[in-house]
């Protein structure tokens, strides 16, 4: 099993640019979660999907952030336009509905200059 | 809503010493509890979880945790730590709402540093 795959692993961009983070969940999992980790705020849930449908996006900080899950094997988190305060490590996790475990990817370290 | 407090941000210990990482939670409903470990530059890995049944839960790498409902705690313990246990440890909680995957609320983390 390849685990949760995230790309890119590192992203450096300039303020105002669009950033797209990608996630491939574990095959057979039907829940997907996006988290953000910073020193100041710790781990925060941004949004999660069940069966490709967004269930709770209350953690998305503002309209500059959007997430999609067009199919069971792919999700994106987009920031447009990016700002320096978006600098963080973004994690994707997947699991099965009704199963009490989330499997985390290695994360994408985003730096916005 | 649920919340988690990890009482120590850093815990330094010597190799082969016992360790306890403390976690308290707050919730108006019954909960499931988890401990995750994060090694440098990696994602989180599940150490153990409490869903129901025995309040003493054993996990990977020799760790265990005890659920104490009256004290709303879920402390993590290991009788003898190794250098390789150096990592950040996160306590997490979710409401036992049944039937759907769970929105985890994480504590701020405890950095365990094992010194030789």
**What is the rounded average pLDDT of the residues A85-107?**
89
List of long-range contacts for A25-29, beta carbons under 8 Å, 24+ apart? A25/A72, A25/A73, A25/A75, A25/A92, A25/A94, A26/A1, A26/A2, A26/A94, A26/A103, A27/A1, A27/A73, A28/A96, A29/A94, A29/A95, A29/A96, A29/A103
Best of A50, A102, A106, A108 to substitute, by most chain B Cβ atoms within 10 angstroms, is: A102
| A51-75 per-position pLDDT tens digit | 999 988 989 988 999 999 999 999 9
| Confidence band, pLDDT 50/70/90 cuts, at residue B103 | confident
Tell me the CA distances in angstroms from A31 to A98, B50, B57, one per residue in order: 9, 20, 25
Distance CA B55, CA B77 (A): 13
The proportion of chain A whose per-residue pLDDT surpasses 90, expressed as a percent, equals: 80
The whole-angstrom distance between A1's CA and the closest CA on chain B is 15
Flag if A101 and B32 touch (Cβ within 8 Å).
no
CA dihedral for B61, B6, B57, A56, sign (positive or negative):
negative
Average pLDDT value for residue range B24-34? 90
Strand partners, B92: B34, B106
For residue B10, give every residue at least 6 positions away whose Cβ sits within 8 Å of its Cβ, in sequence order, or none: B110, B111, B113
Please give the average per-residue pLDDT across B43-64, as a whole number.
93
pLDDT of residue A61: 87
Please say if the pLDDT value at position B99 is more than 70.
Answer: no
CB atoms within 10 A of CB B99: 6
Tell how far CA B77 is from the center of its chain: 9
| B104 interfacial to chain A (CB closer than 8 Å) | yes
Question: For chain B, what is the mean pLDDT?
Answer: 92
**Is B32–A100 a contact, with Cβ atoms under 8 angstroms apart?**
yes
pLDDT at A20: 98
CA A20 to chain centre: 10
Region A18-43: mean pLDDT is 94
Q: How far apart are CA A65 and CA A67, in angstroms?
A: 7
Coil/strand/helix, residue B4 = strand
The CA distance from B43 to the nearest CA of chain A, in Å, is 4
Q: Which residues on A lie below 8 Å from B59 (Cβ)?
A: none
Residues of A in contact with B104 (CB under 8 A): 33, 45, 102
Give me the residues of B, 48-87, that contact A with CB < 8 A.
49, 51
């Amino acid at each position: 099993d390849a685990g949760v795959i995230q790309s890119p692993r590192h992203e450096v961009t300039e303020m105002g640019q669009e950033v797209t983070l990608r996630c491939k969940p574990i095959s057979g999992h039907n829940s997907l979660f996006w988290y953000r980790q910073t020193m100041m705020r710790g781990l925060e849930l941004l949004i999660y999907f069940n069966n490709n449908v967004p269930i709770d996006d209350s953690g998305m900080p503002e309209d500059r952030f959007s997430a999609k899950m067009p199919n069971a094997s792919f999700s994106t988190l987009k920031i447009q336009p990016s700002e320096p305060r978006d600098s963080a490590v973004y994690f994707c996790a997947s699991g099965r509905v009704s199963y009490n475990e989330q499997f985390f990817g290695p994360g994408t370290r985003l730096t916005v200059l | 809503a649920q919340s988690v407090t990890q009482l120590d941000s850093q815990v330094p210990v010597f190799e082969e010493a016992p360790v306890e990482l403390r976690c308290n939670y707050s919730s108006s409903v019954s909960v499931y509890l988890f401990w995750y470990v994060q090694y440098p530059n990696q994602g989180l890995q599940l150490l153990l979880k409490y869903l129901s049944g025995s309040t003493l839960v054993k996990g990977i790498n020799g760790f265990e945790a005890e659920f104490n409902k009256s004290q709303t705690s879920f402390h993590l313990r290991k009788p003898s730590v190794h250098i390789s246990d150096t990592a950040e440890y996160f306590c997490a909680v979710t409401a036992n709402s049944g039937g759907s995957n769970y929105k985890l609320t994480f504590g701020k983390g405890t950095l365990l540093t094992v010194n030789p």
